[in-house]
Structure 1
């Protein structure tokens, strides 16, 4: 059956050598089928979770209605190929016909999928005002496309592309080709596309036409780049494309460039009857007099402030969240308090956090007071707004990526915080190791001396190395690497200057108290690892975790484990050899043997767990069918580097004992055996270095600073996860986002006094929220 179908494809392409073409197409289809099916499953999981976050999958949801946009935002309908003349860029999807011009006049959710699947140009733009439901409509369209793909016959399913959705905020169309950027985004969200093999796999899917792309947030990139983005998409997008943006911003950009061949559909405001039905559906019948008054006002007075306010899904959802079934919702009809729609919207936004953190019947008490939540979310929104003024910032202006939260504080301050934290961590780690191996017999003065010594010789260079590597790489995230010889030379000079400064300071500290070779080797190794991983992968794509997985017989898994353990071993051996010579412990031959044993110990100890978990292996298409959430990514990253640090320290300790046969670290007291000293000291050093190398380190230090400076929750990630569960935030893969850009912008505009204001926790009454005054 596949041979016959392949022959059809070959004949349609106009080729004559059908035997050769048949074999080629069948082979390519077979290679891609499994990958696209697994990606479809992963994408469905990702966006079903997002739809649940937005409460889009309830049995009763708000309708989606649209019409062809009348604003000058796109070219003529004929350019989309809806006429019968000319060739189509894309064939209609399974069981659909090419979209005719009349079908673009207006429609609903089902019609939207028919337009998406039937446009010969394959280019669709969905526009609307703030809060009109563009992203929600796109999510529902994406899920509809996946459902139709799943229901298609096996012989035809692989013709239907898998839709993937990304936000445009991190794209620079002037320097990064759109497909290269999309491949990077795929690698960031799905493990199967990481590494060189994964990126090649993603590129093959694009070439084979297996992917459709939904792009949100054209209005979120800098205004001068929007026309350039439309031009780049017009020239480079060889895939089905759905673009989401606000109408006004697209109209301004379209004065210079339009998305050639696109049809623009505008989402229509909600009808008063739709809003009234949605609000009354979950209530008892008959509803309270307050809710009946609101429903009557909506359906009877179209020009009232309330009717004009409740025209978007965002505002209707806010009203449902803020007011309980017994709340005095009819206060919104008071035109003296709410003379215009904006006053109602601001009122609902002001009380959204209080409503979310009000105790509810049958649920645990909130961990955070509404005032704490309001202050913390306002602080985050304001920091994201500051990042909007710096387009090169990794977070853009909408994504709360926890591994770059440290970028919200000045570089010098985060360097100081990292150094102080690393000194405390290293001192305590070695102090506890010394107490443990000595059976708590160590004299206090000797113990404090050891803690202080290691905090300076290990903690200071470690914290400095990580902070400097972070400072060098964070500005590059989301931006292209330097182009041209002069840019690369400047980058080399910057890195060299930072390395020279770090090593110089480490030498100075080490000479002052002794053990400067340890300081230099610690700084060099930690900086090299941190800078190498972050600069090469732009942060998000480097998030890894320890998860036992399949394909243990894979040669790639074994080679990755061997190469990664060798990398650690060579680093330890190289710096250890230099330190061995500096300390005058032996001649060159003895030093080289010390380094060689360090390499062997690393391979023996580190390689097996990496092989078992596949933590640093390009994941195959069948390994991961779910995107990792923020909390899972946070925990996985910490576990990985904690274990890696422990294993590396164990390898270093064994090597030290084999080389010296005497105490090396000097922890504990005189009764501690050389083996115990080397093992405990090596593991302590490895654990401290491993924790500091993790992505969670800089974020943890920033959390502590925020808690001390702004009285935010000390465990900020747990707070963000709690806000997500209360529908104030949403998640896209490992990233948090505000529930809606309007909500984020409202908080960002809050006066500084609002951050410090403490809101009174409303009293509970029959398990309901107290309505706002």
Structure 2
């Protein structure tokens, strides 16, 4: 927004002074000395603020677009590298080495563009998941760096995408001008709302990496990075979109990608084929690769590397059977079929190798007659195994260990509920999803209903009414009791009975006032709650280190306007009170000397509070990538800061101002019962109704209701963080996903919906 010029500021100030003086003198002609003085002061403060802002903008030396974009790009590269370094540890991608999946050019040449539109060398592309540098070298050699990774369930598509991101970042030193690879879940891309890929990428960068919104990088650094080709989008999971949306993504990519735009896309093979058929075109200039089934010998060699040097006779029998060119029929054949995918190998390793479980069950032909039954068995044992093998730890270095110990049965129940909700169409009409966003929980379950909003409005009304009634009743009664302490012997019913009687009388006297105040507040909250379930999370940075000068500067600039606001409020309140006095009593009373000492500090406190909130929502370049838990904590901080700041700052200021205006001895008698309820009411109203980012409040209501029925734990986010540390979930920015889509499908299929009868859980069939 353009800063007003000094001439405009002078004209505004003079206009305010003249209009204010004229309005004041039309009320009472006997007021001759103060109107012009007060309004001139207001105008002067406004002028001073405008001048300070103008000077600050003129003298500021922000980075130009090139320098700011370069710095933002470096920060983004560091954040993405750190994010996937941590995630690789949690996913055990390098322990001991990646599973050696072999990749080759797709056999379905109709899924790929004309050979003339591709780099000739890429037509002979072969790669292995345990030799990512070679694949990255071939990717960089492409005329147009566009790659599609296809495969069936559990084939390792996402793992390969993560490996590419990490290798591209690790070797950026020799290629400093390359774009930064950023892995994004394509399921969040609404091509109707964001037809251009770069528009959506800019929004995701702003949400997932709040450091890019730091003022040091200039205005809208995420958009500049996305639209200037400084980001390589790695879009994971095209198959997770509905069929029409998959085709829309292919169409949007072909329509809006420029000649030099780079892209990596993953999808299941059948869904990608259907998407290009529906779109009527392939992805232009994209090389399409797919995996070969995992070789049994390679699978046996990988399991051998994960086992102790002397694993025992049963493991030797299993490994020998896997290495055989044609395994005999029975358990070893079923195990060999299971191990043709990285998912199967990971399940065997996790449940039997890492847990040191007796592998004799893998040879039980009666219990596991085929590979599907064996895989279901491994999924069933996965939760118990991971909880047993990863005991809790508070050591920050132990990323793969949870912070709390959980009951396996409850963990399965809670994760099954989430998987079931994600695998079925949501109550708001949105389709099934693989993305678990904590702020979507309120709108994808039957918890945040119109009845819930009515209950919130009623609860707010009652809370405000009790606050406005209880505080003055307690204060007045306590003050009276202290003054009568020496006369307690003369009280007929004794001091306690007298206190209770006085409190009840005072409370009931103030209750109508509390209801009158609470009803509109509750109505405002109830109306505002309609949007809570659709709001995105916010961000709050409350660390003072290296940011204190910014806070002081922001408050210093706001100080004159805050004083002007307090003066304006005082004049408005004084005029209104004087009018009311003249109308009711027929005699004019000058209320300004009474009102102004109160409104001046209250207005100043409210304006400065807005400055603190504005400062808190400005991130710094050092902010970490926005993990799900960090996103939740940040939005919680925004909401609590808003409620507490608006409740305490004006409330305590009003209490002190009223007390000082009436005398120090009247602080308890008048300041506390009048100022504190007013401030708390204002804080509750502004905290719940004003501003944006109330996702945490909707989450709080939702998890409370679901915890009552046993569907989810009351502390959901700490539990999800532990599930992530256990390896049951994976994180992509602020979004969780199940470690494997097949794990989500398995848990969803085993979930038995419940309903509540008289406070008890009753299971019923789906």
Q: How far did residue 310 of structure 1 move?
A: 1.6
Q: How far did residue 748 of structure 1 move?
A: 1.8
Does residue 509 of structure 2 align to residue 471 of structure 1?
A: no
Q: Which of 214, 226, 236 matches 1:216?
A: 236
The answer (yes or no) to whether the contact 2:144–2:285 under 8 Å persists in 1 is yes
- In structure 2, the residue matched to 1:249 is 271
The answer (yes or no) to whether the contact 1:378–1:755 under 8 Å persists in 2 is no
Separation in 1, partners of 2:263, 2:313: 48
Q: Which of 215, 221, 227 matches 2:247?
A: 227
Separation in 2, partners of 1:716, 1:36: 34
The answer (yes or no) to whether the contact 1:214–1:243 under 8 Å persists in 2 is yes
- In structure 1, the residue matched to 2:342 is 313
**TM (normalized to structure 2)?**
0.72
Separation in 2, partners of 1:293, 1:585: 99
Partner deviation per Cα, 1:275-311 (whole Å, 9 max, x = no partner): 3333343433211333333323322255712111122
Matches within 5 A, 1:425-440: none
The answer (yes or no) to whether the contact 2:651–2:676 under 8 Å persists in 1 is yes
Q: Which of 376, 382, 388 matches 2:420?
A: 382
Does residue 310 of structure 2 align to residue 289 of structure 1?
A: no
- In structure 1, the residue matched to 2:376 is 346
- In structure 2, the residue matched to 1:370 is 408
Q: How far did residue 227 of structure 1 move?
A: 1.5
Separation in 2, partners of 1:275, 1:589: 91
Q: Which of 432, 436, 461 matches 1:400?
A: 436
Matches within 5 A, 1:265-280: 265-280=289-304
**TM (normalized to structure 1)?**
0.71
- In structure 2, the residue matched to 1:102 is 124
Separation in 1, partners of 2:250, 2:462: 51
The answer (yes or no) to whether the contact 1:569–1:601 under 8 Å persists in 2 is no
Q: How far did residue 252 of structure 1 move?
A: 0.8
Report SS of the residue matched to 2:184. strand
The answer (yes or no) to whether the contact 2:602–2:650 under 8 Å persists in 1 is yes
Q: How far did residue 689 of structure 1 move?
A: 4.5
Q: Which of 164, 171, 174 matches 2:182?
A: 164
Separation in 1, partners of 2:658, 2:285: 73
The answer (yes or no) to whether the contact 1:645–1:688 under 8 Å persists in 2 is yes
Does residue 81 of structure 2 align to residue 44 of structure 1?
A: yes
Separation in 2, partners of 1:580, 1:349: 71
Aligned length: 636
Q: Which of 176, 181, 199 matches 1:180?
A: 199
- In structure 2, the residue matched to 1:18 is none
CA gap of 1:469–1:647, structure 2 versus 1, over 3 A, is closer
Separation in 1, partners of 2:291, 2:540: 40
Q: How far did residue 686 of structure 1 move?
A: 5.1
Separation in 1, partners of 2:669, 2:373: 74
The answer (yes or no) to whether the contact 1:80–1:123 under 8 Å persists in 2 is no
Separation in 2, partners of 1:640, 1:736: 22
Matches within 5 A, 1:76-155: 76=113, 78-83=115-120, 99-103=121-125, 108-149=131-172, 151-152=173-174
Superposed CA RMSD in Å reads 4.4
CA gap of 1:114–1:580, structure 2 versus 1, over 3 A, is farther
- In structure 1, the residue matched to 2:634 is 636
Matches within 5 A, 1:676-691: 676-685=672-681, 688-689=684-685
Separation in 1, partners of 2:505, 2:411: 45
Report SS of the residue matched to 2:616. coil
Q: How far did residue 662 of structure 1 move?
A: 10
Unaligned runs of 5+ in 2: 1-62, 394-401, 482-498, 584-588, 762-766
Separation in 1, partners of 2:334, 2:544: 57
Q: How far did residue 344 of structure 1 move?
A: 1.4
Name the stretch that deviates more: 709-718 or 373-382: 709-718
Q: How far did residue 549 of structure 1 move?
A: 5.3
Matches within 5 A, 1:332-343: 332-343=362-373
- In structure 1, the residue matched to 2:24 is none
Partner deviation per Cα, 1:28-86 (whole Å, 9 max, x = no partner): 65443222111100111122222222221323331242000112563335254314xxx
Partner deviation per Cα, 1:66-107 (whole Å, 9 max, x = no partner): 000112563335254314xxxxxxxxxxxxxxx453335888
Name the stretch that deviates more: 160-169 or 49-58: 49-58
Report SS of the residue matched to 1:284. coil
The answer (yes or no) to whether the contact 1:426–1:685 under 8 Å persists in 2 is yes
- In structure 2, the residue matched to 1:701 is 701
Q: How far did residue 262 of structure 1 move?
A: 0.5
Report SS of the residue matched to 2:93. coil
Separation in 2, partners of 1:374, 1:49: 25
Separation in 2, partners of 1:172, 1:54: 29
Separation in 2, partners of 1:131, 1:586: 81
CA gap of 1:70–1:720, structure 2 versus 1, over 3 A, is same
Separation in 2, partners of 1:77, 1:589: 87
Q: Which of 317, 329, 342 matches 2:359?
A: 329
The answer (yes or no) to whether the contact 1:293–1:330 under 8 Å persists in 2 is no
The answer (yes or no) to whether the contact 1:628–1:734 under 8 Å persists in 2 is yes
- In structure 1, the residue matched to 2:30 is none
Separation in 1, partners of 2:295, 2:755: 36
- In structure 2, the residue matched to 1:712 is 712
Does residue 277 of structure 2 align to residue 259 of structure 1?
A: no
Matches within 5 A, 1:522-671: 534=535, 539-540=536-537, 542-548=538-544, 550=546, 558=554, 562=558, 598-607=602-611, 609-610=612-613, 614-617=615-618, 619=619, 622-624=621-623, 626-653=624-651, 656=654
Q: Which has the larger radius of gyration?
A: 2
Separation in 1, partners of 2:219, 2:425: 29
Unaligned runs of 5+ in 1: 1-25, 84-98, 478-533, 665-669, 759-773
CA gap of 1:38–1:432, structure 2 versus 1, over 3 A, is farther
Separation in 2, partners of 1:583, 1:717: 55
